[in-house]
């Protein structure tokens, strides 16, 4: 469950000594541990509260106890039967998956050209891409909406997917990784008669599996959680993604916090599962984003 590679190193290098000497830990370290642990518990408490409340009945939902007095699944049943939640989840899953796969494909191609191929204007193109880092969705929302309308991207999957494909972050990260791959490998591939596409497909892509999986987790999470863009370009309920679904659910069931918390848990579970299974990949991509 360690968040970073270093943590693993720390633990293994101290190994059994620190484990058997657990009680012999310096008192200062104990104090530090308790303070940190207390803060960590406070940090996750709101999420535990959400989970607990999703199992409480309407009369019970404002009680102070973390363990529900009479745990019930009724809230979840209600959410799935009264609202097309499965459709929302399918839409989110579909959009997030297509965006992730498409973005990784395009970005790795661009990054390969920007790191391994030599052509005039390469650095200018890279800096131009890099500078789009400063542009964020809320700032260009209005013109992007008008453009999407003009291109016929309102109220369809194309509009949810295509504009979400393009960002500088993935190109930047992949390019950094590709610059680190020894060029001798490329020369060997050329001698074997590989053309540029074959070098990219048979050499670069397999080698970049770690960074691609890190980015995949990052992109999937970002798209599953995205709200503003789907909110702006879809009003057809059949196209709603899960975040729009629950935001609307709150309008409808204001005050029924047991239902709202159950819906929130359903929307959060896929992201939490991704986090628990792929946290190393996620942390890798975040660390790499702190460019040096």
Partner 1 sequence: MTSGSLIAKEQAPIQPRKDPPKRGLSRKHREWIAAALFLTPDLIGLFIFLGIPMLMSLLLGFFSADGFGNFTFVGFGNYVQMFSDAQFMNSLRTTLLYIVAFVPGLFITSLLLALLVKQKIPFVGVLRSMFFVPNVISLVVVGFVWKFILIDKIGLLNQILQSAGISGISWLGDPNLALWSVIAITIWFSMGYYMIIFLAGLQEISPEFYEASMLDGANAWQTFWKVTWPLLRPTSFFVLLVSLVSAVAGSQGFDLIYVMTRGGPANATELGIFYIYEQAFQFNNYGYAAAMASFVVAILLVATIIMFAVTKGGSFESD
Cβ neighbours around 119 below 10 Å, total: 8
User: Quick one: tokens of 247?
Assistant: 């935001």
Q: How far is the CB of 70 from partner 1 (least distance, A)?
A: 19
Residues 96/160, Cβ–Cβ less than 8 Å: no
Nearer to partner 1, 86 or 139 (CB): 139
For residues 263 and 54, give the distance between their C-alpha atoms in angstroms, rounded to a whole number: 8
Give the residue from 10, 71, 89, 20 showing the smallest Cα distance to 249: 89
Of residues 83 and 282, the one with the C-beta less far from partner 1: 282
Is 78 a binding residue for partner 1 by CB under 8 A? The answer is no
User: Which of 15, 20, 205, 202 is closest to 101 using CA atoms?
Assistant: 205
The residue range among 3-11, 72-80, 82-90, 93-101 that interacts with partner 1, by the rule CB under 8 A, is 3-11
- Residue range at the interface with partner 1 (CB under 8 A); choices 27-35, 68-76, 78-86, 93-101: 27-35
Q: How far apart are CA 241 and CA 227, in angstroms?
A: 8
- Which 144-163 positions form the footprint of partner 1 (CB under 8 A)? 144-147, 162-163
228 binds partner 1 (CB under 8 A): yes
Among 59, 123, 198, 252, binds partner 1 (CB under 8 A): 123
Instruction: Tell me: does residue 69 bind partner 1 (CB under 8 A).
Output: no
Question: Please, which of residues 81-100 interact with partner 1 by CB under 8 A?
Answer: none
Minimum distance, C-beta of residue 233 to partner 1, in the bound complex (Å): 11
Q: How far is the CB of 64 from partner 1 (least distance, A)?
A: 6
**Closest distance between partner 1 and the C-beta of residue 86, in Å?**
18
Choose the binding region for partner 1 from 14-22, 67-75, 80-88, 93-101 (rule: CB under 8 A).
14-22
CB 217 within 8 Å of CB 285: yes
Identity of the residue, 7 or 77, whose beta carbon is nearer to partner 1 in the bound complex = 7
Q: Which residues from 268-287 bind partner 1, rule CB under 8 A? A: 268, 271-272, 274-275, 279, 282-283, 286-287
Number of H helices, E strands in the chain: 15, 0
Please tell me whether residue 236 adopts helix, strand or coil conformation.
coil
Stretch that binds partner 1, among 69-77, 83-91, 93-101, 264-272 (CB under 8 A): 264-272
Q: Which of 104, 165, 215, 239 binds partner 1 (CB under 8 A)?
A: 165
Instruction: Report how far residue 128's alpha carbon sits from residue 124's, in angstroms, rounded to the nearest whole number.
Output: 6
Select from 159, 138, 139, 137 the least CA-distant residue to 150: 159
Give kind and range of the element (H or E) at residue 177: helix 168-179
41 binds partner 1 (CB under 8 A): yes
| Distance from C-alpha of 240 to C-alpha of 251, rounded to nearest angstrom | 15
**Interface size with partner 1, residues (CB under 8 A):** 115
Nearest-approach distance from CB 217 to partner 1, in angstroms: 10
132 binds partner 1 (CB under 8 A): yes
3-state class (DSSP) for residue 249:
helix
188: three-class secondary structure by DSSP: helix
CA pair distance 174, 176, nearest whole angstrom: 5
| Residue 127 interacts with partner 1 (CB under 8 A): yes or no | yes
By CB under 8 A, tell whether 202 contacts partner 1.
no
Helix or strand holding residue 262 (H, E): helix 257-289
């Amino acid at each position: 469950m360690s968040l970073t590679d270093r943590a693993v190193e720390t633990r293994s290098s101290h190994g059994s000594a620190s484990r058997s000497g657990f009680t012999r830990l310096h008192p200062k370290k104990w104090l530090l541990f308790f303070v940190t642990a207390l803060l960590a518990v406070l940090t996750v408490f709101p999420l535990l509260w959400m989970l607990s409340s999703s199992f409480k009945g309407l009369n019970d939902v404002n009680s102070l106890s973390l363990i529900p007095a009479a745990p019930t699944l009724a809230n979840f049943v209600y959410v799935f039967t009264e609202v097309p939640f499965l459709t929302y989840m399918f839409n989110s899953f579909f959009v997030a998956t297509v965006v992730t796969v498409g973005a990784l494909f395009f970005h790795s191609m661009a990054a390969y050209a920007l790191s391994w191929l030599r052509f005039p204007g390469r650095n200018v193109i890279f800096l131009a891409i890099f500078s789009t880092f400063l542009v964020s969705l809320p700032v260009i929302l209005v013109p992007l909406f008008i453009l999407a309308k003009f291109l016929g991207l309102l109220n369809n999957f194309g509009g949810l997917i295509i504009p979400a494909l393009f960002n500088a972050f993935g190109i930047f990260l992949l390019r950094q990784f590709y610059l680190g791959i020894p060029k001798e490998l490329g020369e060997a591939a050329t001698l074997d008669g590989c053309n540029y596409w074959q070098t990219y497909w048979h050499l670069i892509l397999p080698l970049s599996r770690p960074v691609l999986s890190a980015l995949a987790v990052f992109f999937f999470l970002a798209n599953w959680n995205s709200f503003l863009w789907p909110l702006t370009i879809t009003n057809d309920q059949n196209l709603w993604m899960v975040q729009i679904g629950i935001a609307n659910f709150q309008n409808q069931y204001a005050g029924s916090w047991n239902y709202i918390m159950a819906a929130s848990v359903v929307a959060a579970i896929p992201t939490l599962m991704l986090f628990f299974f792929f946290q190393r990949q996620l942390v890798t991509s975040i660390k790499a984003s702190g460019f040096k």
